[in-house]
Amino acid sequence: MVIFSQETTDSYRLSDFHFSMGRQMYTHHTDDLMQLYDNVKTDFGLSDNLMDNSGYFYGRSNTGFFNFILGFTKKPTRSLNAGISYYTGNRRNLSFSCRDKTRTDTVDAGDYIIYVDSVNNTFYNFNEIISEIALSFSSIYRTAPEKTIIMYSGFGINVGYTIYSSLDYSKFSKNANVYNINGVDYENYIFMPDNMNFTTKNDYKRSLYTRLFIPMGINIRFSKDDKLFSKFYLDFAALFGFEFQNQPDSSPYMRSYSAFSSGIRYNLN
């Protein structure tokens, strides 16, 4: 993540700065919902066994981030980086459904029997929206810095705090009469009135995040011959690691994540 000069110094010196932007993605599990529900400041009134009756579960995230990083070098192939990051967007978006079926009638049609069931399908969506400021520190090792294309990797730590956090909760229901004829279900859906569809915005407890990550990336020099553009590099990076989330009165919560970014780096040497 750093541009190096060819000289070796006795101490670390500021060698470059770097700006990038990208997206961060998470793996999601059903316990993400319980963690969200436990830390919201508003009681949704949902039952504790809600997930036990879930028909399907789906989780996704779409968090954007911006990085500004300073690089300090002592050896041409190694640097220490310090930076500040801003995260914003949907950290977690979890959706699932519950299905309740009740037998309401049995009709003898002569050659066969028709079973009539009343089915209620309820769809839930939880959307965690955040804004976060974070500081990052990393140690980077790279291939020969005099080349046009440079590969690098290393390890690092990122510590952040949410300056804004909310949890949006929405619910949608629809009913169906299900007719079972000779073992085949035929559904006739009846949508509920509009007042059954609602969204609430709820204050969510602020979080302290600690991330341990391994970056892997590539630098591509703009030009080797031009005096000005030889100092500019395109940077493409992928990060893989683990995130630890801490909230008041809650146990630490860990999940894996990945991030992808692109940016520009300028060499000061």
In a domain, 181, yes or no: no
Task: Give 228-258 pLDDT, tens digit per residue.
Answer: 888 999 999 999 999 998 887 777 888 889 9
Q: Which residue has the higher pLDDT, 105 or 152?
A: 152
Residue 259 has pLDDT above 90, yes or no: yes
pLDDT for 193: 45
pLDDT for 216: 97
User: CATH number of the domain that 228 lies in?
Assistant: 2.40.160.20
Q: Identify the band that residue 30 occupies on the pLDDT scale cut at 50, 70 and 90.
A: low
Over residues 140-150, the mean pLDDT reads: 90
In a domain, 84, yes or no: yes
Domain count, the chain: 1
pLDDT for 6: 47
Q: Which structural domain range is residue 211 located in?
A: 13-96+130-163+205-267
Q: Which residue has the higher pLDDT, 211 or 269?
A: 211
Give the per-residue SS3 of the chain: CCCCCCCCCCCCEEEEEEEEEEEEEECCCHHHHHHHHHHECCCCCCCCCCHHHEEEEEEEEEEEEEEEEEEEEEECCEEEEEEEEEEEEEEEEEEEEEEEEEEEEEEECCCCEEEEEEEEEEEEEEEEEEEEEEEEEEEEEECCCCCCEEEEEEEEEEEEEEEEEEEEEEEEEEEEEEEEECCEEEEEEEECCHHHCEEEEEEECCCEEEEEEEEEEEEEECCCCCCCHHHEEEEEEEEEEEEEEECCCCCCEEEEEEEEEEEEEEECC
Residue 156 has pLDDT above 60, yes or no: yes
In a domain, 25, yes or no: yes
In a domain, 138, yes or no: yes
**Within 10 Å of residue 192's Cβ, how many Cβ atoms?**
14
Residue 103 has pLDDT above 50, yes or no: yes
Q: Sign of the CA dihedral 78, 72, 138, 84?
A: negative
Task: Give 38-55 pLDDT, tens digit per residue.
Answer: 666 556 555 555 555 556
pLDDT for 242: 94
pTM: 0.78
In a domain, 225, yes or no: yes
In a domain, 242, yes or no: yes
In a domain, 47, yes or no: yes
In a domain, 238, yes or no: yes
Residue 194 has pLDDT above 50, yes or no: no
Over residues 172-192, the mean pLDDT reads: 73
